[in-house]
Amino acid sequence: MAEFVTGKIVAGKYRLDAVIREGALGDMYRAWHLMMEKPLTLCVLPNDGSISAELRNAFFDSVKMQARLAHPNILIPVDSGTDADGDLYVAYDSQNCETLAAFIDKYGRIDAGNAAEIARQIASALAAIHDAGIIHGNLTAHSILLSEVAESAVIAKVADIGLPGPLELIDVDMVSAGDFAYLPPEQCTGAAEPGVCGDIYSLGVVFYEMLAGEAPFSAESASEMMRRQAEELPPPLVAFRSDLPAGLEPIVLRALSKKPEMRYASASEFIAALDNIFPAAIAPLPEREQRGRGEIWKTIAYAVAGISILAAALIYSTSVKQTVPPTQVQPDAGGIPVQPINPATGIEEQKLASMPGGLPEVISNSNSAQPGMLPGGDGYDPWASGPPIPPGGRTITIDPNSGSQFMPPDGCVLQPSGILLCPKPPTSNTNTSASPSPTPKPTPGANVQPSPAAPANVQPRATPTPNARPTPRPTPANDDPGDLNDG
């Protein structure tokens, strides 16, 4: 129908922005509240005589039913009335909506998990409707709106509760064969009136359409569609996709059973079957209940407690722990430095034991074997036998049978002046005066072999030689008291 163009102002406060759907009982738009500056959904019935007074009254009866149902998956009216042109309008609280039918036409088959979640939300709305003693009677993919609540997350909203179904609108031009695709078989044959089991069947058709991308049956006419609904079985879902989890298709087929008694007895039973395969993925929105004064104060107390805990955690996590700095010991100026002692690890002892030429007692106490050759492979063996290698420089050989030329002879006295006085040898017959003999010094750079003080082998003569007596010499007036040769 779409009698109104986008941009039109309805009732002086709603601006029409886009068409959501066209229907026999008015068109639905995305609208903007001019005074509150917020998006919403608006349904408008034009006052052009195309809708009978009976249908207009049925429409307002449906609006009143929905207003009494407080459920997050039901499209709730927030305003209604007639504008200056006589057009009827109803404003709903949902925003950025589109019909499930349009979503399927745009994107095709829906992921099994998302489809199950949308079906669960629709069933939850049906459970609330049935608990209120109301039968929907006209559930289709066009009467379900998907409202965006967060990024990549939507919530299903059920609309058109209690509106006349396709059988009651058979004479309206806007009714097509597709509107009969959701009609239960017992209503197609006229065997039963709309009821709970009929709504379960319509839910099964919607669920099937989300998974397969199309309704179970299609036909060119309304009569052909009703015949197929009553007589034929829907094609199996595996003919459309192979990624469905086991146990999901039996749930759909049970909801589409031709006999009402074979279907789920309630929407809650349908939800329980889904929960066995897919746990709830989208948290339900809080129900519209009036909170009491006590509930408000309880909420405030919880909020204050939560803020206090968060603040304490933040202060603790950002605070710097204070530590006492270590005491610095000042060295004693008159003290003796001490070599620091490292912890005993046995490493130094092990190195000592493994050194070449180590002490036998150390080697015997260690686990190391006595080394045979130094590392390096040069063949040097420090423990091999052989003549010792003399050190470099001058060598002096001392006869062990005679005195050392480096030591004074026996009886010699060293004077304070540095003169060495030695007694006269008893075997000397010469009339000579004893004079101090300086300590012989070896000539540098020569290999001198000193003669012994007395010959080792003296051969006696055959004729003894008489000892010659020296001629006495007059004693001088100042005789040297240190002369040991005076008679």
Residue 380 DSSP SS3? coil
Burial of 202 from C-beta contacts in 10 A (0-12 / 13-18 / 19+)? buried
* Interatomic CA distance for residues 104 and 118, integer angstroms: 13
Contact between 109 and 55 under an 8 Å Cβ cutoff? The reply is no
CATH number of 97-275: 1.10.510.10
Q: How far apart are CA 253 and CA 266, in angstroms?
A: 15
The chain-wide mean pLDDT, for the chain, equals: 75
Annotate 300-326 with DSSP letters as a single string. HHHHHHHHHHHHHHHHHHHPPPP-PPP
157 touches 74 (CB < 8 A) = yes
Determine the Cα–Cα distance for residues 296 and 291; give it in Å rounded to an integer: 7
pLDDT-based confidence at residue 432 (cuts at 50, 70, 90)? very low
211 or 398, which is more confident?
211
Q: Is pLDDT of 461 > 60?
A: no
Place of tokens 């490493």: 347
Q: Which of 238, 233, 257 is nearest to 249 (CA)?
A: 238
Q: Quick check: 100 and 145 in contact, CB under 8 A?
A: yes
For the segment 415-434, the average pLDDT, to the nearest whole number, is 65
Contacts of 267 by beta carbon, 8 Å cutoff, 6+ apart: 123, 124, 126, 127, 130, 196, 199, 200, 203
Amino acid at 254: R
Q: Which tops the pLDDT comparison, 5 or 294?
A: 5
Rounded average pLDDT over 114-133 = 96
Residue indicated by tokens 């009143």: 64
Work out the pLDDT band at 214, boundaries 50, 70, 90.
Answer: very high
Kindly report, residue by residue over 162-188, the tens digit of the pLDDT: 887 767 665 555 567 788 899 999 988
CA angle 173, 174, 178 (to 5 degrees): 120
**pTM for the model:** 0.57
- 326-364 pLDDT, tens digit each: 555 566 666 565 555 555 666 666 666 666 555 555 445
Q: What is the pLDDT of residues 245-287, one digit of tens each?
A: 989 999 999 999 999 999 999 999 999 999 999 876 544 443 4
Q: Are 80 and 90 in contact (CB under 8 A)?
A: yes
Helix (H) / strand (E) containing 80: strand 77-82
pLDDT of 223 > 50? The answer is: yes
How far is residue 243 CA from its own chain's centroid? Answer: 32
Q: Does domain 9-92 have CATH number 3.30.200.20?
A: yes
Domain ranges of the chain: 9-92, 97-275
